[in-house]
Amino acid sequence: MSTPEAPPVDPSRPQVGDRLELDAGPIAHGGHVVARTGETGLVVFVRHALPGERVVAVVTEDDGRFLRADAVDVLEASPDRVERPCPYAGPGACGGCDLQHAALPAQRRLKADVVREQLSRLAGLEVDVVVEPVPDAGTDGLRWRSRMQYVALPELQRGLRAHRSHDVVAVEDCPIEAPGAVTTTDGVPPAPVVTERVTTAAGTRDFEVAGDGFWQPHVHAPRVLVETVLELGAPRPGERVLDLYAGVGLFTAYLAEAVGPTGAVTAVEGDRTATRLAAANLADLPGVSVVTDRVDRALHRGIGAADLVVLDPPRVGAKRQVVRHLAALTPRAIVYVACDPAALARDVAYLAEQGYRMETLRAFDLFPMTHHVECVALFVPA
């Protein structure tokens, strides 16, 4: 059998490695700006640029529908551009931080633009979004990350991967790693269990977390998110609460204290190690039950009534089936913690289909120097 011939190369189409002069347009979800080539108007997603700049960008990938590129020279700079605080950030270097070239207030404005655009495009909502700085987190956006995953290198070195690549950049010190961060290295078993102390306006508790298990990365995130969930959800004594994608029980603990001994909180989490630790973390709280199951499956099987639902799904969001099951429980309120604005916006649309409207949206800069942003939304019956 003969091998099919490769499609002919379009001589007018930029190739990987080509240098293009581009005018940087608006920020897009993912940490890049949108530009277009002058000849054909082909879309180019450009990293390391800011809206309004004119840059020289090197094409790094051709997706077929669009190009990806890195800005390697700035011809006309934005007033928001600053020197990167990390020597490992930039084109072809560590892929962990994609906004170090923007001042922190500008980073937050750009993230707000992304959240606003996703809600408009995917949910049909026009919402005024402000990304809030984290209280008591300092003003430089550094030393905030409580969990780090490194790649082992020869001679006891360690590194981090380049953007969309298996290439490893050797790193002596990552400026966003917090003092005392839990660090793991490929091929090296992590610490089995780590104790995390969380101090909030509602009290202080200790939580055991697997060394390689999920925990909010920003050192102040547990406090900020617990306080925001309690503020928006306003749990009342005697209420029945569902905490979905509950992890080791961070929200469950504070929700249980709020509803008191006459209330009940059910935590649902699919990871067996997390639920084992959650059971230990929550053992002193009456009315708490921990369910080890996938959230969609647990809801399908039936999990009882709920006055309030709190959910913190993974980056892909809750999705339509889970939303449908939640609405069928007719809670008075749903508090949704989201780490991805696109997934949140899709679920906002699904909730609207089921008769729930977004009443309040808070957004926090829990991932400085990166394009990521954390949102907490309150939904009530329409």
Residues with catalytic function:
339
CB 132 within 8 Å of CB 363: yes
Where helices occur in 57-215 by DSSP H, the ranges are: 104-123
Residue 235 Rama label (left phi>0; alpha psi -120 to 50; beta)? beta
Cα(235)–Cα(255) distance, integer angstroms: 7
- Kindly report the number of other CB atoms within 10 A of residue 304's CB atom: 10
CB 364 within 8 Å of CB 134: yes
Cα(187)–Cα(193) distance, integer angstroms: 18
CB 183 within 8 Å of CB 212: no
Cα(205)–Cα(198) distance, integer angstroms: 5
Cα(254)–Cα(237) distance, integer angstroms: 12
Of 182, 219, 151, nearest in space to 368 by CA: 219
Cα(49)–Cα(34) distance, integer angstroms: 9
Q: What is the dihedral of CA 52, 57, 62, 65, to 10 degrees?
A: 20
Where helices occur in the chain by DSSP H, the ranges are: 104-123, 221-233, 250-259, 272-281, 295-301, 319-328, 341-353
Cα(237)–Cα(337) distance, integer angstroms: 22
